[in-house]
Amino acid sequence: FSYQTKAMEILREFEEKCKTSVAKLQQVADDMVIEMRKGLAPDSDSTLKMLISYVSNLPTGDEAGIFYALDLGGTNFRVLRVKLGGGGEVRPEFKEVSIPQSCMTGTCSELFEFITGKLAEFVATEGEDLQIAPGTQQELGFTFSFPVKQTSIDRGTLETWTKGFNIEDALNKDMVVELTKAMEDTGLDMRVAALVNDTVGALAGGKYSNPDVIAAVILGTGTNAAYIERVDAIPKWEGPLPESGEMVINMEWSNFQSPHLPLTEYDESLDASSKYPGKQTFEKMISGMYLGEIVRLVLLKMAQEARFFGDTVPPKLEESSVLTTPDMSAMHHDSTGDLKEVAAILKDKLEISDTSLDMRKVIVDLCEIVATRGARLSAAGVLGILKKLGRDNGNQKSIIAIDGGLFEHYGKFRNALQNALEELLGEEASKNILIEQSIDGSGLGAALLAASNPRLA
């Protein structure tokens, strides 16, 4: 019996449980379709909320004027401004700040004060060419990436928090009303013309630059997807039919569940100590908020049961969230022959020194297992959408816009997703079904939707 053998056993067992064969991913995609259908029916118990976005017309390119957008929904908060109608490429100006932890769990008014404070600072930097006539109310799109029950494009109440946020007194409040109040208090004369989820924004942003975009996926702190559905396929839709006959659906796929998801004891333990046990199962296997944490939990088990780091368990390793997904990604991409980057992160983040090259290789393998599972499950989700729309055969051109820091910065995750999708679709269909990176599409999309939803006056 050797501890080293035991450590390898733990890793191999984890790898086995994380396997995502094509057959398994097909089952996940089929379950996604079933849950999508259920969620589109009235009074459903689907794990997918399939929220109606009230976006039935996506931007056409004819929009003109200066528009602002706020993008709140995870780690970073962005304020942006874009001038439309000048022709050519649109290049929004933006500012990004990280959200203080205290704002994520404090009160509703604290959060909105923080947001409007940053917005006011940004408005003050408006250049000469962007000045609008004094007394004209400015239009703003608000990307708010949490489950919201909308009643129109500019109205919506918060249903639940996700991604580490937990502000109880904001639940069931209309986020547009709260933002508008805070803007008034700050002395900002702006109208919230559109309240959109980041996925819906990314879809609008993606479609603006490419009309073949049919869906958008977010892979950042959290994960989600939105797509264009025919209104006659939405039994729960009430009210007049939109002229376009279409409606953007915000799936809220982060909460997707299926018996075919390859869950392990580490996922169970992550879930049990999370803010929302039993919820957000898909997201907990895929998104940036959780991948590094899964790696930590496996390493912890290897330390405890196989003395992977020596006779004692490194104390830092017992702290939740010490190893972030960017750390994991940096280790995974370490291309130095002796894995210097892995050694540096182990030292900086976990206070572990004196690791052998073999140990560091094991850690890289572990990152590979966790990232690959997440990426392949994301591909299965995309396949689910394509199947629901009858587009998985590749007979029509379909583009999926993907936005978010995980997809943007984690190259091996991105490649694994791309490969899995090709594997699932087959060579022929893959020619017509493409993934397109949409950097900051979610914020730009909100500004575009604000532009295409002018005041009715």
Q: Which residues bind ligand ADP (CB under 6 A)?
A: 73-76, 220-222, 288, 325-326, 329, 404-406, 409-410
Question: Shortest gap between Cβ of 388 and ligand ADP (angstroms)?
Answer: 25
DSSP secondary structure string for all residues of 24-53: HHHHHHHHHHHHHHHHHSTT---S---EE-
The CB-of-214 to ligand ADP minimum distance in angstroms stands at: 21
**What does 395-430 look like in DSSP terms, one character per residue?**
SS-EEEEEESHHHHH-HHHHHHHHHHHHHHH-HHHH
| 393-to-198, 216, 349, 427 alpha-carbon distances in Å | 28, 19, 46, 10
Q: Which does 242 bind (CB under 5 to 8 A by kind): Mg ion, ligand ADP, none?
A: none
Q: CA separation (Å) from 321 to 74, 327, 349? A: 15, 11, 10
The residue among 229 and 327 lying less far from ligand ADP, judged by its C-beta, is: 327
Choose from ligand ADP, Mg ion, none: what does 156 bind? Cβ within 5-8 Å by kind. Answer: none
Residue type at position 414: R
Q: Which does 325 bind (CB under 5 to 8 A by kind): Mg ion, ligand ADP, none?
A: ligand ADP
CA distance 155 to 78: 21
Alpha-carbon distance values, 320 to 303, 315, 332 (Å)? 15, 11, 20
Question: To the nearest 10°, the Cα dihedral for 145, 150, 156, 159?
Answer: -60
Closest distance to ligand ADP from the beta carbon of 171 (Å): 20
| 218: phi then psi, degrees, rounded to nearest 5 | -105, 130
Give the range of 205-213, 215-223, 344-352, 427-435 binding Mg ion by CB under 5 A. Answer: 215-223
Contact 141, 201 (CB under 8 A): yes
Q: How far apart are CA 350 and CA 359, in angstroms?
A: 14
Identify residues 141-160 at the interface with Mg ion (CB under 5 A): none
As annotated, the active-site residues are: 163, 198
Which positions from 187 through 206 interact with Mg ion, judged by CB under 5 A?
A: 198
Q: Which does 254 bind (CB under 5 to 8 A by kind): ligand ADP, Mg ion, none?
A: none
| Residue 409 site contact among ligand ADP, Mg ion, none (CB < 5 to 8 Å, cut-off depends on kind) | ligand ADP
- In whole angstroms, how close is the CB of 346 to ligand ADP at the nearest point? 17
> Which is closer to ligand ADP, CB of 247 or CB of 401?
401
Query: CB 83 → ligand ADP: shortest distance, Å?
Result: 23
In the complex, the smallest distance separating the C-beta of residue 189 from ligand ADP, rounded to whole angstroms, is 27
Structure-block tokens of residue 247: 């409606």
Of 28 and 202, nearer to ligand ADP (C-beta) is 202
Closer to ligand ADP by Cβ: residue 76 or 109: 76
Q: Which lies closer to ligand ADP via its Cβ, residue 76 or residue 419?
A: 76
262 or 405: CB nearest ligand ADP: 405
406 binds, among ligand ADP, Mg ion, none (CB under 5 to 8 A by kind): ligand ADP
Per-residue exposure over 417-439, b if at least 16 CB sit within 10 Å of its own CB, e if not: bbebbbebbeeebeebbbbbebe
Residue with tokens 């939707």: 449
Q: What is the DSSP letter of 100?
A: P
Residues that bind Mg ion (CB under 5 A): 198, 220
